[in-house]
Chain A
Amino acid sequence: MDDTSRQIRFTLNGRPVTARVESHLDLVDLLRRFDLFGARESCGQGLCGCCTVLVDGVAVSGCLTLAQLVDGRSVTTVESLDEGGALSPVQQAFIDEGAFQCGFCTPGFVMMTHELLKENPDPDEAAIRDYLAGNLCRCAAYPEIIRAVQTAATRMKTAQAA
């Protein structure tokens, strides 16, 4: 096969990195090369949200993003959220509300909840449902996920007010 690989540079969770990637490689597989497994391919069609990552601050499906397209851009994964060793308020709320079972979809939900609360620090239940409609949880921990988002929102507001 023709060599379609190309050297790319991008920022990964705040650090500059380089990689040699083939034209067909998707972003989930690229992240695996950096031992980051929090973004996972499940449906492979951008419909389940398990592979959610941020590219230049925008949530995308990693399985539908060609790796070469992140050249020069900034990629943020779930692994960035506890880099200092402490969980983010969203992660802690997911634990406290028991908002997962098998955990396979959880990084995607956690990432999208961060995005939601950035845009809307005080979402009502309808807003939560709408924002998370692109993420699927086959264990159906949806009631707990909604409570976790509400708990995280409350705690983040309280922390900001303090």
Chain B
Amino acid sequence: MNVMRPMPAGQVGRSVPRLEAREKVTGRADYVHNLVVPGMLYTKVFRSTVPHGRIVSIDTSAAEAVEGVYRVVTGEDIRKVVPEPYYGPAFHDQPVLALDKVRHVGEPVAVVLAEDPYVAAEAVQLITAEYEELEPVFDEVEAVTSRAVVHEVLKPAGTFPDLKHLVGRRDTNVALDYQLRRGDVDAAFAAADRVFEHEFRTQQTMHTPLEPMVSLAIPGHESLTIHTASQSPSFVRIEIARLLGWPENRVRVVVPHLGGGFGAKLYIKLEALVACLALLVRRPVKLSLTMEEQFYTISKHASTFRIRSSVKDGKITGRRCEVFWNGGAYADIGPRVTQKSGFTAPGPYDIDNVSIDSYALYTNRPPAGALRGFGIPQLVWAYESHTDLIARELEIDPVEFRRNNILREGREQATGTAMKDAAIEAVLEDIVARMDWSKPFDRGTGPLRRGRGIAIGFKASISPTTSVAIVNVYGDGSSSLYLSTVDMGQGSDTAMAQIVGETLGIETENVKVIHPDTDVTPYDMATLGSRSTFHMGNAVKLAAQHARDQLDALARSLGLPPGTNYGPKDLFKKKYGMQAGNIVGVGSYIPDYKSPDPATGLSDNVTPFWMIGGTGVEIEVDTETGHVRILRMVNAVDCGRPLNPKIVETQLSGAALMQLGFTLFENMEYDNGQVTNASFADYKIPGIHDLPARIENDIVEAEQKSGPYGAKGVGESATFGVSPAIANAIHDAVGVRLTEMPLTPEAVFRAIRAQKG
């Protein structure tokens, strides 16, 4: 690190290459995956083979007899270190290892510990379990009325006021019922020219980070260190401390680079298990999942969305939304998705009368949680497909219909919060202009038909959440940034260092970023929901300003005039007589927020900022095979002022291409609760050939005035419009409407055949 030297501003808005670039291209970047410590035991998990059942017996004797097996552990053993071993961010419903019941195929039931991972893998196959099978429920709509009950009693965590009414509720699969009521929807429907109603469904998919989940716990003297591939080190510490009944300061959570996260590595995943095992056997314990095991651990919600709209004189006057979220066997963060995303279900349109009912459902599938968009892509898929269908029925150009109804700056969104710094129109118009929407379009000939489609969406930032940052200026003037934001590839290390550089007037490349280590780095709610740039960015800016103010005060105390040429190094030397000392700047940020009224779901300050994204596509459909080829994809977002334009652009195309996979082919397939394609051999993710022939990404001119240097989050925004834009384009090309994802060649072909009769 070089010493601080005055620089012209311009650190922010510059496409600084990622600070860790060299480590990544040389294969030397540090992942938990690489970590081995003396005395470490490897773990392999024995998993449930039934979707719903009571555990009658577990026979571990044959596994224990394998040479090299250190110990086999079941749920009852876990109780010796944690008497009440249930965890989760919204509900304390997930056992560290199954107790009494199993609720999905793949649920952890027992583990084998061994010094050799191959021994653990062999021994785990010798464990057997007997279950008394119970009736399962898999579908989110059936779960509402099903006789099968996944959890006998609801156990919401005490931390959320809007979950309090659910405490102790029995014999229901509805983990959360969120509602919003605005205006009078029934009156709007009664007075309308036309009323439109559709149902849309999305499938369950998986994040598949290429670094599978991995955690390593090391027991110490009345302490525990957990090295983990986690997006939420502060949450891991708090939740492990709660389980153990320890103060936070006895649990240390360390996170190096992550090989992708996308929401899979949030809250607690493997950490509670390795923590309990390490305390039980008094040795370090490492658990590395395989790609297959990730599919049993967390997923993206399947969903059903019933949407009904009234239209009068080309304006949408009322909208009723019923959304059912398939949360799987454990709530994870599903109830947050249900509410925090639920209230945007009517879409970025100006509608006076709105009714929303959003339900989190338990089913006997692997749990669902956050995946890049936190429920928003499922909602946009439905409301933007619906929007296009209405426009077609009314014979209005779909762009014109959107223009007529778009939610403009200053107008109230369904919750009653006024739109501010939300460039929805700009995003729509940017896509329209670049696609030359008003010009004639070549629709193809013969079996190859062409079409185009557009979709826009928006998202509120999850709120209220806190970030804390520390900037430490050392005796030679160099500086480090301490923060618990996890750089899982989104480039946060670089962007945050740019904020420090801009604020202190130094080069970004000279700021060292200290990776999350809860013994050292301060609290951050988590790296999720595109919240870091705004929340942590503001905290980092405050910390850097605090350091700068102290440097100015130091200069004054040394009798130096304002605007002195003395750099920090010289100030320290003058003060201490040698290279010594520190200046520590601290910044803490939590935005203002007003919790929605429990009865109406209304709030005039429901989010600190809005994320806007949209996509336009031109496609070609082979009517003889149903195959859809994306000829051109145009993505546009409002991310405020981009801190690092090049990294933002990579985020845009990355998000859009990930959503392209969820749209066209990714799908967890089931046979009686068993995922049948839990591997890359059968579950295809986008490869280089799936990249559209042309892909363009645009950042519209905008500013988030409350954000650090005008910036806000962007990691998810380019996912929003992809799925409905493609469905709308298919409709445009061949006149068929798909209402269920994924839009496979088979589904397209069947729809074309059905249309022909």
Check if A62 is an interface residue, CB within 8 A of chain B. Answer: no
Residues in B neighbouring A68, C-beta threshold 8 A? none
Most buried by A among B17, B259, B651, B691: B259
Any chain A CB within 8 A of the CB of B290?
Answer: yes
Question: Are A103 and B259 neighbours in the complex by a CB distance under 8 Å?
Answer: yes
Contact B658 A140 (CB under 8 A): yes
Q: A47-B680, A102-B259 are in contact. Are A79 and B26 (CB under 8 A)?
A: yes
Contact A135 B34 (CB under 8 A): no
Are B260 and A104 within 8 A (Cβ)? yes
- The complex places the Cα of A79 from the Cα of B28 at a distance, in Å, of 8
Considering the complex, which residues of chain B in the window 475-508 have a beta carbon less than 8 Å from any beta carbon of chain A? Answer: 488-491
Any A CB within 8 A of the CB of B681: yes
Q: Is A153 close to B, CB under 8 A?
A: no
Report the separation of the CA atoms of residues A42 and B213 in the bound assembly, to the nearest whole angstrom.
Answer: 10
Q: Which residue of B lies closest to A135 (CB)?
A: B688
Residues of A contacting B209 with CB < 8 Å? 102, 104, 138
Q: Give B695's nearest chain A residue, CB to CB.
A: A143
Ranked 8 nearest A-B pairs via Cβ:
A38-B27, A102-B489, A104-B259, A103-B24, A101-B489, A140-B657, A107-B27, A78-B27
The residues of A that contact B20 with a CB separation of less than 8 Å are: 103
Interface check A95, CB cutoff 8 A: yes
Selected contact of A101 from candidates B212, B291, B650, CB within 8 Å: B650
Complex CA gap A29/B689 in Å reads: 30
Q: Can you name 19 extra interface pairs (CB under 8 A) apart from A24-B118, A101-B491?
A: A36-B27, A42-B211, A43-B210, A44-B292, A45-B680, A78-B26, A79-B27, A82-B26, A87-B25, A98-B18, A100-B489, A102-B257, A104-B209, A104-B211, A104-B260, A129-B688, A129-B689, A138-B207, A138-B685
Task: For A143, give the chain B residue with the smallest CB separation.
Answer: B653
Tell me if A122 is interfacial: C-beta within 8 Å of chain B: no
Cβ of B296 within 8 Å of any chain A Cβ, yes or no, is: no
How far does the Cβ of A143 sit from chain B's closest Cβ, in whole Å? Answer: 5
Minimum CB–CB distance from A147 to chain B (whole Å) comes to 11
| Partner of A136 from B24, B68, B680, B691 at Cβ < 8 Å | B680
Cβ–Cβ contact B29 & A103, under 8 A: yes
Q: Does B646 contact A (CB under 8 A)?
A: yes
> Measured between C-beta atoms, what is the minimum distance from B149 to chain A in Å?
36
Q: Which A residues fall within an 8 A CB radius of B?
A: 1, 22, 24-25, 32, 36-40, 42-45, 47-48, 50, 77-79, 81-82, 87, 91-92, 94-96, 98, 100-107, 110, 128-129, 132-133, 135-146
What count of chain B residues pass the 8 Å CB interface test? 60
- Most A C-beta atoms less than 10 A away, residue of B24, B25, B28, B36: B25
B468 is an interface residue with CB less than 8 A from chain A: no
| Contact A102:B488 (CB < 8 A) given known A96-B17, A110-B25 | yes
Tell me how far the C-beta of A50 lies from the nearest C-beta in chain B, rounded to whole angstroms.
6
- Chain B residues near A95: list those with CB within 8 A: 17-18, 21-22, 25
* B295 CB, min distance to chain A CBs, angstroms: 12
Q: B24, A106: Cβ atoms under 8 Å?
A: yes
Interface centre among B31, B211, B491, B686 (most CB of A within 10 A): B211
B67 sits at the interface (CB 8 A): yes
Residue B647 at the chain A interface, CB threshold 8 Å: yes
In the complex, per-residue mask of B64-80: 1 if CB is within 8 Å of any chain A CB, else 0: 00111000000000000
Per-residue CB contact flags for chain B residues 1-33 toward chain A (1 = under 8 Å, else 0) read: 000000000000001011011111111110101
Which residues of B sit under 8 angstroms from A98, Cβ to Cβ?
Answer: 15, 17-18, 646-647, 650
The chain B residue sitting closest to A39, CB to CB, is B27
- B650 partner, pick from A82, A132, A144, beta carbons under 8 A: A144
| Smallest beta-carbon distance B719→chain A, Å | 11
Residue in A37, A79, A94, A102 whose beta carbon sits within 8 Å of that of B210 in the complex: A102
Shortest distance from the beta carbon of A32 to any chain B beta carbon, whole Å: 8
- Are A104 and B31 in touch, CB under 8 angstroms? yes
B654 at the interface (CB under 8 A from A): yes
